A = this chain, B = another copy of it.
Amino acid sequence: MSVTAPQGFRAAGVVAGLKDNGGRDVALVVNDGPSRAAAGVFTRNRVRAAPVEWTEQVLKGGRLRAVVLNSGGANACTGAPGFQDTHATAEAVAEALEDSAGEVAVCSTGLIGVRLPMEVLLPGVGKAAAELSRGDGGLAAADAIRTTDTVAKIAFRQGEGGYRIGAMAKGAGMLAPSLATMLCVITTDADLPAEALDRALRAATAVTLDRLDTDGCMSTNDTVLLLASGAAGVVPGEEEFTALVTDVCADLTRQLLVDAEGASKAIAIEVVGAASEDDAVTVGRSIARNDLLKCAIHGEDPNWGRVLSAVGTTDAVFEPDRINVAINGVWVCRNGSSGDDRDRVDLRPRDVTITVDLSAGSASATIWTTDLTAEYVHENSAYST
């Protein structure tokens, strides 16, 4: 029920030998058509990995025959040689499929600043091409893109008229402003042109994956791709299709959130009563990035003072003495001062909801984050990524 759930797609995930742990590390997703329409969104980091530069160029044509992905190396900050490596990887896929490298997307994830061992990667690409299948390939591909992910992330939805959307994603740390070290491939057998796919993907990610902010760190490699084969012969309404893609992205967002490195809490920060959606997002992100608050939630301390302190660093429209804050439903702060009894807040469940009412308008947004734990520190001080 991964990227091969829709008709017209084959996939594979193989062991090339890039990863020290001997796990799968090269994935290939192939669109057999009849359509090849595709769209993508990328990290907003100005330091961008070679595969991001390459894939953005490829997508200007609005078509993708295949996506090749590797874990075990980000191919970021590797200069012109790194870009040539990405190009060679796409060429290897094109050769195996007897197709054009100009319609092959490349995604990489892993350590920044190190060249990929092409003598290991290219044979892996050939191996993946030889193992392409609709049966097991989808799950194997989802497994092959994992880095510190403890589980493979996949999603599946069925639309009106019988078309399908399938997806796989990876990402466990560095989840921030714009999609984070997140690689995500979404497939559909619906028949829509590239422009419609692009609109749907941007609308969907803007309110889901883009609002996941686990540690404020933005990756050099984030890529989310949407490929349509048209094999189901269904042309969905754009609104319905966008809603379904959004639903898939929300599902993946949730999976990424609960598997974030070292996290013990999944925190939803709902900002309501904002003067604009931008204000709501700004305030939500500021709270999501407040290490002191994230420590407090880890310690199950409903420390609303740290919430207000984070709100106060933004330029959003608000008056400090009109802010209300609820933690897991208890309004512990009313009008900028102490509200209901904080002892009534139960912070033992994994899911935590912090609601901030700015009393400045009617816009709202939700940002998802995690608590800050000793395990996060351990994982990111012992593991070079």
Contact = CB atoms under 8 A, between A and B. Distances in A.
A359 B292 CA distance: 35
A338 B114 contact: yes
Interface string A231-269: 000000000000000000000000000000000000000
Interface string A318-340: 10110000000000010111100
B338 A113 contact: yes
Interface stretch (A91-99, A162-170, A189-197, A377-385): A377-385
Contact of A309 (B220, B298, B333, B335): B220
A74 B312 CA distance: 15
Interface stretch (A23-31, A56-64, A368-376): A368-376
A344 to B, nearest CB: 15
Interface in A334-381: 335-338, 372-374, 376-381
A174 interface: yes
A77 B301 contact: no
A112 interface: yes
Nearest to A319: B46
A303 interface: yes
Nearest to A302: B384
Contacts of A289: 216, 289
Given A374-B374, A374-B378, 4 more contacts: A215-B291, A216-B290, A218-B312, A372-B377
Interface string A30-56: 000000000000001111100000000
23 contacts: A45-B313, A46-B314, A46-B318, A47-B308, A47-B312, A47-B336, A48-B312, A76-B305, A76-B309, A112-B306, A113-B337, A115-B338, A216-B291, A217-B306, A219-B309, A291-B291, A295-B379, A296-B381, A296-B384, A299-B382, A301-B384, A303-B384, A374-B378
Nearest to A214: B291
Contact of A320 (B47, B113, B174, B381): B47
A79 B313 contact: no
A377 B289 CA distance: 14
A382 B379 CA distance: 21
Nearest to A313: B218
A290 to B, nearest CB: 6
A218 to B, nearest CB: 5
Interface string A257-293: 0000000000000000000000000000000011110
Across the A-B interface, the 9 shortest Cβ-Cβ residue pairs:
A112-B305, A299-B381, A47-B312, A295-B380, A374-B374, A79-B337, A45-B312, A46-B312, A113-B305
A133 interface: no
A378 to B, nearest CB: 7
A113 B384 contact: no
Given A301-B384, A377-B372, A381-B301, A292 B215 contact: yes
Contacts of A114: 338
Given A218-B312, A313-B177, A113 B333 contact: yes
A272 B113 CA distance: 21
Nearest to A338: B113
Contacts of A382: 299
A319 to B, nearest CB: 9
A290 B217 contact: yes
